[in-house]
Chains A and B, each alone.
Chain A
């Protein structure tokens, strides 16, 4: 009988505590700074072009081969406004294949790619799998709008 009374006691004392669940779509939890949602590209605001030069390092390092990268000559280098000789031409990431392992961020020499650490990176549901292939403009859009908290790993 004692064991049954213990179970009854602990279930009763649990009713007096505050519920630990929140109503998700109306309230959101805080995500920590290091949260890894999906990769996005960063925009260099001073020169007004992406950091990414299209060097294929992340494409080679990706374990699931989810990226496709092409590069072109940078017109701004010819002007002299930018130090980057080549610049990214087209960049596709298939979010459906990406396993968010962070290796692309590690190997990038230019710190041009980063993991999205906001809620918008998590709420990416689509009705069609092909809509998950994200192109360059969409990848750059969030950082351009200033919605990413940047951080540096030490």
Chain B
């Protein structure tokens, strides 16, 4: 009897990590094609959070449109407002007084710290911690958010910056409050560090997973911690220095391997560097006005276009404004970092396990309102 060898016929399974899922950060749909446990194809579906923000901003004048900028990347709001204000100031030729610049820098860097705390918390949950890393990260975030509430009045949608400066001055105890909070943040970073960084299981889950090389990262248009983790030392605060960042002494963390663990380490180190910047800025904070003296009552722009970008918590957040005269922008385009970072998802995920797909998505650190605007 002759038995012939036959290949076992298999079919790849299509799994839908649907819009409602505990670990896709927001409404994001990923259709994975898996072969056993290995992912062979990823198809992301976005657009669930699209609210037409760029179109809405065309109907608002330059002061009203600040409200929408809070609502794109809702974890790093001050950085978004900074980008918008920089764009409008360039357009109108406004000069920001020194005190406002320092206040903006302090609040932006504190906001970067809160955003990375949120990342560390959510990333722990993606890897399986079941709540512990989340509460540790959020406890520290709450202390800083209390300062934000005292300064601007709101816990999440600040609307505090205006083209030309900030809307009102910080309260009198601002410097003292920030100085109180910084040691707590350092303690929080240390807690998360002890919990996550050296944990062997955490390391085994994230080392060597989701690797993207430096050249590929530049090709895909990544920016922010994802680009820096792949070895490219590019940070807008250093290379296209804006505002008064050239007055501070800080370092840019750069990784070597481009995997998930490196991205996590880069973000943890960025938190420490942000604390350095805040400490230096607090010492240098001058007195003075917060809005320019020749502040026009109504902001009318000449017919021109301008692009301004900041180093947001997730990457390069840019605003491109086209004005045809008048007090409303003709076109406001938002270059969102999460959208560009997410485009590299397939390159990073194919070939890894299903469990790694979740870890990689967590390490990209997307905010869906930023992806969809």
Q: Is residue B288 contacting chain A, with contact meaning CB distance below 8 A?
A: no
Q: Do B194 and A6 touch across chains, with their CB atoms under 8 A apart?
A: yes
Q: Do B157 and A100 touch across chains, with their CB atoms under 8 A apart?
A: yes
Interface residues as binary, B66-99 with A (CB distance below 8 Å gives 1, 0 otherwise): 1100000000000000000000000000000000
**Alpha-carbon gap, A32 to B152, bound state (A):** 10
Q: Is residue A16 contacting chain B, with contact meaning CB distance below 8 A?
A: no
Residues of B near A61 (CB, < 8 A) are 63-64
**Alpha-carbon gap, A54 to B139, bound state (A):** 44
Q: Is residue B171 contacting chain A, with contact meaning CB distance below 8 A?
A: yes
Known: A4-B200, A102-B167. A115 touches B153 (CB 8 A): yes
Query: Closest B-chain residue to A20, C-beta based?
Result: B139
Known: A7-B195, A63-B60, A63-B67. A36 touches B200 (CB 8 A): no
CB distance from B126 to the nearest CB of A (A): 16
**Alpha-carbon gap, A31 to B191, bound state (A):** 28
Residues of A near B66 (CB, < 8 A) are 101
Q: Do B198 and A6 touch across chains, with their CB atoms under 8 A apart?
A: yes
Q: Do A3 and B203 touch across chains, with their CB atoms under 8 A apart?
A: yes
Residues of A near B196 (CB, < 8 A) are 7
Interface residues as binary, A1-43 with B (CB distance below 8 Å gives 1, 0 otherwise): 1111011011100100000100000000001111110000000
Residues of B near A31 (CB, < 8 A) are 149
Segment 121-169 of B: residues with Cβ below 8 Å from A: 132, 136, 139, 142, 146, 149-154, 157, 159, 167-169
Residues of B near A101 (CB, < 8 A) are 64, 66-67, 157, 159
CB distance from B117 to the nearest CB of A (A): 14
Q: Do B198 and A2 touch across chains, with their CB atoms under 8 A apart?
A: yes
Main secondary structure of the interface of B (DSSP, over half): helix
Residues of B near A100 (CB, < 8 A) are 154, 157
**Alpha-carbon gap, A62 to B159, bound state (A):** 13
Q: Is residue B250 contacting chain A, with contact meaning CB distance below 8 A?
A: no
Q: Do A154 and B198 touch across chains, with their CB atoms under 8 A apart?
A: no
Q: Do A154 and B67 touch across chains, with their CB atoms under 8 A apart?
A: no
Q: Do B194 and A7 touch across chains, with their CB atoms under 8 A apart?
A: yes
Q: Is residue A106 contacting chain B, with contact meaning CB distance below 8 A?
A: yes
Interface residues as binary, B194-207 with A (CB distance below 8 Å gives 1, 0 otherwise): 11111111110000
Q: Do A35 and B153 touch across chains, with their CB atoms under 8 A apart?
A: yes
Q: Do B194 and A14 touch across chains, with their CB atoms under 8 A apart?
A: no
Known: A32-B149, A103-B64, A153-B168. A11 touches B203 (CB 8 A): no
Q: Do A34 and B150 touch across chains, with their CB atoms under 8 A apart?
A: yes
Q: Is residue A57 contacting chain B, with contact meaning CB distance below 8 A?
A: no
Segment 340-363 of B: residues with Cβ below 8 Å from A: none
Segment 57-78 of A: residues with Cβ below 8 Å from B: 61-63
CB distance from B370 to the nearest CB of A (A): 18
Q: Do B67 and A3 touch across chains, with their CB atoms under 8 A apart?
A: no
CB distance from A29 to the nearest CB of B (A): 9
Out of B132, B154, B202, name the residue touching A11 (CB < 8 Å): B132
CB distance from A33 to the nearest CB of B (A): 8
CB distance from A95 to the nearest CB of B (A): 15
Known: A3-B202, A106-B167. A10 touches B194 (CB 8 A): yes
**Alpha-carbon gap, A115 to B64, bound state (A):** 17
Interface residues as binary, A91-119 with B (CB distance below 8 Å gives 1, 0 otherwise): 00000000111110010000000010100
Query: Closest A-chain residue to B200, C-beta based?
Result: A3
**Alpha-carbon gap, A145 to B151, bound state (A):** 27
Known: A34-B171, A154-B168. A14 touches B153 (CB 8 A): no
Q: Do B64 and A63 touch across chains, with their CB atoms under 8 A apart?
A: yes
Q: Do B201 and A4 touch across chains, with their CB atoms under 8 A apart?
A: yes
Out of A2, A34, A99, name the residue touching B153 (CB < 8 Å): A34
Residues of B near A117 (CB, < 8 A) are 153
Known: A3-B200, A3-B203, A7-B199. A14 touches B136 (CB 8 A): yes
Cβ contacts A to B, 11 pairs, < 8 Å: A7-B196, A9-B194, A10-B194, A10-B195, A11-B195, A14-B136, A32-B149, A34-B149, A100-B154, A102-B159, A103-B64
A-B pairs with lowest CB-CB distance, top 9: A3-B198, A36-B153, A63-B64, A153-B168, A10-B194, A34-B153, A3-B199, A32-B150, A101-B67
- Tell me the A residues contacting B by CB distance below 8 Å: 1-4, 6-7, 9-11, 14, 20, 31-36, 61-63, 99-103, 106, 115, 117, 153-154
- Tell me the B residues contacting A by CB distance below 8 Å: 60, 63-67, 132, 136, 139, 142, 146, 149-154, 157, 159, 167-169, 171, 191, 194-203
Other 8 A-B pairs with CB < 8 A, given A9-B194, A35-B153, A102-B167? A3-B201, A11-B132, A20-B142, A31-B149, A35-B154, A101-B66, A115-B153, A154-B169
